[in-house]
Amino acid sequence: MANKTSLLPPTPGAAAAIPESGQAAVRVLVSPRARRRARLEERIARALLFLCALLGVLTTFAIVFILLSESLGFFKRVSLVEFLTGTQWAPLFRPQAFGVLPLVMGTLLTTLIAMVVAAPVGLIVAIYLSEYASPRIRRVVKPMLEVLAGIPTVVYGYFALTFVTPLLQRFIPGLEGFNALSAGLVMGIMILPTVASLSEDALYAVPNSLRYASLSLGATRLQTTWGVVVPAAMSGISASFLLGISRAVGETMIVAIAAGQQPNFTFNPLRAVETMTTYIVQIAMGDVPHGTLEYSTIFAVGLLLFAITLGLNLVSEAFRARYKEAKL
Amino acid sequence: MSVATATALRWRAREHRREAAFQIIGAAMVLLAMAMLTVLLVKILLDGYARLGVSFLTEYASRRPENAGIKAALVGSFYLMLLTAAMAVPIGVGAAIYLEEFARRNWWTRLIEINITNLAGVPSVIYGLLGLQVFVRTLMMERSLLAGACTMALLALPVIITAAREGLRSVPRSLREGSLALGATQWQTVRYAVLPVAMPPILTGVILSMSRVVGETAPLLVVGAFAYIAVLPTSVFSPFTVLPVQIYDWVSRPQHGFHQNAAAAIIVLLALLLAMNALAIYLRNRLQVRF
């Protein structure tokens, strides 16, 4: 932390609150030349820092521009109606079919299964941590949730394929080797920390006066929790669910490894399905020459994926803003 | 009277039972989550530990699972992380400084902020498409380490910006005011008074964001990391592979031997992530300046 360019020796006492390095600024007072230099530096620094911040905006524009411009070629050849309502997805076979619904269905199915796990378990874990658990339990459970959140998705994919699927096959005879069920279940574990920690934040933000009022009316703790605290935190809880859904929709590796790579138009969780994300990876890794119609499909699918997750994120953000504003 | 009392007592007993039941359900769900984590870790350790050894770390990928190793992947992950950090950290911290210390509260700043929030929610595979089109094709970097690192830098940027902003916010106002009162310019104040104090939390955030970069697979698959590489990268334009890509390649092969290799590589990956997180926690606790 010590700054070698400092001209003045550190004077204890006088500037105890400022790190010694702060005293380098004193140089400015010394000469007009140093002052001019400082002013120039200031301008350059400000401009450079602004450029850094601008890069974020540029990235968004670049994403939107690329997805739109690359899928333009696709939509010139395939109508939007055919893309959005067709139930057959076979860009690499003859005759070609460009109905995206099988991919959407696969995404929807795995997301639904994931949320069936993550929403109730996440909410109950959040309620338990916020309303019931002792500080000691919280100290153990919260880091564990962080560990779950930090595990790379390719690891979850391995777990789904080599553990969950064989395990489920013992109980469910018709389960295919690649299937939506185990990919969805494991994805549920993956998004559980997101749902639990965001919901817990929302529950924690509910002021105690509401709890005391309810308890003093003779309600039990459980009645207070479900009748008062959870409704008060509802917008935050909804935000956590929406963010969880958005994560599940955009998740790639678990489904690419364990759910399969066949675009089946089915809602049967025991069968193999292909999600939008899996399709993008599959084609980008393959040897489809770029510039072709087949190649441009990944940008059309990417555009749809981007639109869906952006919508979910914006609504989630709106819910979260509401509960942050509504400080009771 | 006695009927009313009996009803009230029954009601109370019922509520007690419900209360107890919910406590048990809550604890069970927490235990369930812990059990999943344990099962996952144990399963991977059991599958992979037999393959771990020095040769696994020093051999290249191979057609025969028992000869294969993760040398190229491990070195590739390391280079990718360094290169990504070299690009993303200065830009991310710069953007955070601008937003926290320089920007006025107006619609333009709001726009930048909303943008960064939304970028954090974009699926990583979309960043892959961005990298594929901008870096691999338009800027003609081909399927190189540099293209991969540029893509990952964009992906890591929102995380770094958010962490750095929190770090800057933890610096008390009095420090800035003291520096400004001595006649320092805004930039000098940031450079000499604020940044040195904010450095530990920023560093912690940077390390955590890099641990996400190390574990990320999908965008690198799209940008074109190869799984089968028998040379180390010699420059930033070399083709490359990383640990998660190698793991994905091995998982997607049917042979059991490759699955074992995948598990062993996962152990190495998790150990690496654990080390990075431990370092981040250590830095947070050790270097933190208290006021």
Measured between CB atoms, which of A25, A56, A225 is closest to B119?
Answer: A56
How buried is B238 (Cβ within 10 angstroms: 0-12 exposed, 13-18 middle, 19+ buried)? middle
- What distance in Å separates the CA atoms of residue A157 and residue B283, rounded to the nearest whole number? 32
Contact A161 B251 (CB under 8 A): yes
The token pair at A214 is: 């309810």
Residues of B (176-215) whose Cβ lies below 8 Å from A: 178-179, 182-193, 196-197, 199, 211, 214-215
- What distance in Å separates the CA atoms of residue B48 and residue B265, rounded to the nearest whole number? 8
Q: Which amino acid is at B239?
A: P
Q: How confident is the model over B150-178, as pLDDT tens digits?
A: 999 999 999 999 999 999 999 999 999 99
The token pair at B168 is: 């800057």
How buried is A51 (Cβ within 10 angstroms: 0-12 exposed, 13-18 middle, 19+ buried)? middle
The whole-number pLDDT of residue A11 equals 43
Paired residues of A98 in beta bridges: A89
Contact A24 B192 (CB under 8 A): yes
Q: What is the mean pLDDT of chain B?
A: 90
For B104, which residue in chain A has the nearest alpha carbon?
Answer: A50
User: How many CA atoms are closer than 13 Å to the CA of A102, on its beta-carbon side?
Assistant: 21
Q: Any idea what the Cα angle at residue B29 is, between residues B24 and B33, rounded to 5°?
A: 145
B26 at A interface, C-beta within 8 A: yes
How buried is B289 (Cβ within 10 angstroms: 0-12 exposed, 13-18 middle, 19+ buried)? middle
CB under 8 Å to B92, separation ≥6 — which residues?
A52, B156, B157, B159, B160, B161, B164, B206, B209
The whole-number pLDDT of residue B173 equals 92
A50 at B interface, C-beta within 8 A: yes
The whole-number pLDDT of residue B32 equals 93
Q: pTM of the predicted model, to two decimals? A: 0.89
Per-residue pLDDT of chain A (328 residues; tens, 9 = 90+): 344 444 444 444 444 444 555 555 555 456 788 888 888 989 999 999 999 999 988 999 999 999 999 999 899 988 999 999 888 898 888 788 899 999 999 999 999 999 999 999 999 999 999 999 899 988 889 888 988 999 999 999 999 999 999 999 999 988 999 999 999 999 999 999 999 999 999 999 899 999 999 999 989 899 999 999 999 999 999 999 999 999 999 999 999 999 998 898 989 999 999 999 999 999 988 888 888 888 899 999 999 999 999 999 999 988 888 877 665 5
Of the candidates A240, A238, A233, the residue with the CA atom closest to the CA atom of residue A206: A233
Of the candidates A157, A44, A134, A323, the residue with the CA atom closest to the CA atom of residue B26: A134
The whole-number pLDDT of residue A325 equals 64
Residues of B (127-146) whose Cβ lies below 8 Å from A: 127-130, 132-134, 137
Q: Which amino acid is at A263?
A: P
Assign residue B16 a region (left: φ > 0; alpha: ψ between -120 and 50; beta: otherwise): alpha
Superfamily of domain B56-287: MetI-like (1.10.3720.10)
Q: Which amino acid is at A308?
A: I
The whole-number pLDDT of residue A21 equals 52
Q: How confident is the model over B231-243, as pLDDT tens digits?
A: 888 888 888 899 9
Contact A277 B125 (CB under 8 A): yes
The whole-number pLDDT of residue A300 equals 95
Backbone phi, then psi, for A176, in 5-degree steps?
-75, 160
Question: What's the complex ipTM?
Answer: 0.92
Weakest-pLDDT range from A268-277, A283-292, B140-149, B186-195: A283-292
Among all chains, which residue has been given the structure tokens 């001019």? A36
Long-range contacts of B61-64 (CB under 8 A, 24+ apart): B61/B227, B61/B228, B61/B229, B61/B230, B61/B241, B61/B246, B61/B249, B64/B257
The whole-number pLDDT of residue B231 equals 80
- What distance in Å separates the CA atoms of residue B128 and residue A203, rounded to the nearest whole number? 36
- What distance in Å separates the CA atoms of residue B247 and residue B217, rounded to the nearest whole number? 9
Give the residue extent of every domain in chain B.
2-51, 56-287
From the CA of A302, how many Å to the nearest CA of chain B? 6
The whole-number pLDDT of residue A326 equals 62
